[in-house]
Amino acid sequence: MRIDLIEHASLSIPRKERFTIARGSSDVAENVFAMVHSGNRLGLGCGAPSDVTRETVATVTAALHGLARGLRGFEFERPGHVADRMDAVLPANPAAKAAIDMAVHDLLAQEAAKPLYAYLGGSRDRMPTDMTIGIMGTADAVERAVRWVREGFRSLKVKVGLDPKGDVERVRAIRAVVGGEVELRVDGNQGYTWSQALAFARSARDLGIVLFEQPVPATDFEGMRALAEASPIPIMADEMVLTPDDAKKLRWANAARAVNLKLMKHGGIVRASEVNAICESAGYPAMVGCMGEPQLSIAAGLHFALAQKNVRWLDLDSHFNLAADPSSGLRFEEGELVAPAGPGLGIDVEWPS
């Protein structure tokens, strides 16, 4: 297969409601769509810049410009060839590379006439995803929790990390209203100090929370290691794991019990698979999560997750909060995200006029 041409276009998609986490708020999801042409086939991808990878729409656009030039006419058989070529053309820029990587996967799976998860070796076509409740007042959070459970979600992820006491009260109120069957996860997004995180985990130990994501800053390996040992809630690493080397460091430091994988952090499916292989060998089960993304890249994350035995949880929910998603094709049934049955990603994109 040969890359004939790569085009890209950025799009600001308003959210249905403001999304607040420990590190800030956002009303708009910024995305850069990539179109990779090969003969008469078109592969689609999307990059979502964030402060986690230190990317912006401007850096992703500039990176895609350089990658498009560096990949023009490039012949490849496997997606890894393109991933290696991209790393040779320019370092870092994982969200930009993720856009091209998923488009290349879309092309190869189309050529194989298989849905991407099957091309990657998977056999399941659906998994339950959680729904995230941002930082907000307790009454508002409880209202969201009731609504999401009514819509079919069987697990909820609650954002915490600003105020350990208030956070415990909010999660306690959510637990009281949703009952014991709904799975609860929390995400500190680096907002706590080590002692705040431990205080939160100890006061919330009776709430049946299954995961406590990145409670302390990504640079705090010591804090993460101490928490992984002392916290009654299992600690998951997120913002501190971007590259395969980061995953190795996490393993050597014993600094978590599980890892949140995101295509935007790692640079696409090829590199996410490498990070996942290290996690799996370390005995860290994985979640597949997302940034503020439309259905197009959410589908890529889903296909990837479906093909990996080590992926135990899905946090692929950002598209539910977009007011106008140009991409479509995913279904949500009884709490599960269902991959399209058609070849490739199976996602259509209709550009806003």
Instruction: State the nearest-atom distance from the C-beta of 159 to Mg ion, in Å.
Output: 9
Binding-site size for Mg ion (CB under 5 A) equals 3
What minimum distance in Å lies between the beta carbon of 184 and Mg ion? 15
Q: Which is nearer to Mg ion, 82 or 141 (CB)?
A: 141
- The answer to whether 169 touches 139, Cβ cutoff 8 Å, is no
Query: DSSP code of 206?
Result: G
Residue 173-192 contact track with Mg ion, rule CB under 5 A, x = bound? --------------x-----
- CA–CA distance, 182 with 12 (Å, rounded to integer): 33
Q: Is residue 225 helix, strand or coil?
A: helix
List 30, 55, 238, 317, residue binding Mg ion (CB under 5 A): 238
Q: Could you say whether residue 130 binds Mg ion (CB under 5 A)?
A: no
CB of 240 to Mg ion, least distance (A): 10
The residue written with tokens 């998951």 in the block is 236
Whichever of 115 and 267 has its CB closer to Mg ion, that residue is 267
Contact 315, 286 (CB under 8 A): no
**How far apart are CB 307 and Mg ion at their closest, in Å?**
22
Which residues are marked as active site?
A: 159, 187, 213, 238, 262
- Shortest Å distance, C-beta 116 to Mg ion: 24
Among 213, 220, 246, 317, binds Mg ion (CB under 5 A): 213
Beta strands 183-187 and 155-159 are parallel
| Residue with Cβ nearer Mg ion (18 or 72) | 18
Q: What are the residues facing 26 on neighbouring strands?
A: 19
Beta bridge partners of 337: 127, 332
Binding to Mg ion by CB under 5 A, coded x per residue (else -) over 141-180, reads ----------------------------------------
Type and span of the H or E element at 287 = strand 286-288
Query: CA 120 → CA 10, 123, 167, 214, distances in Å?
Result: 28, 9, 39, 29
Report the interface residues with Mg ion, using CB under 5 A. Answer: 187, 213, 238
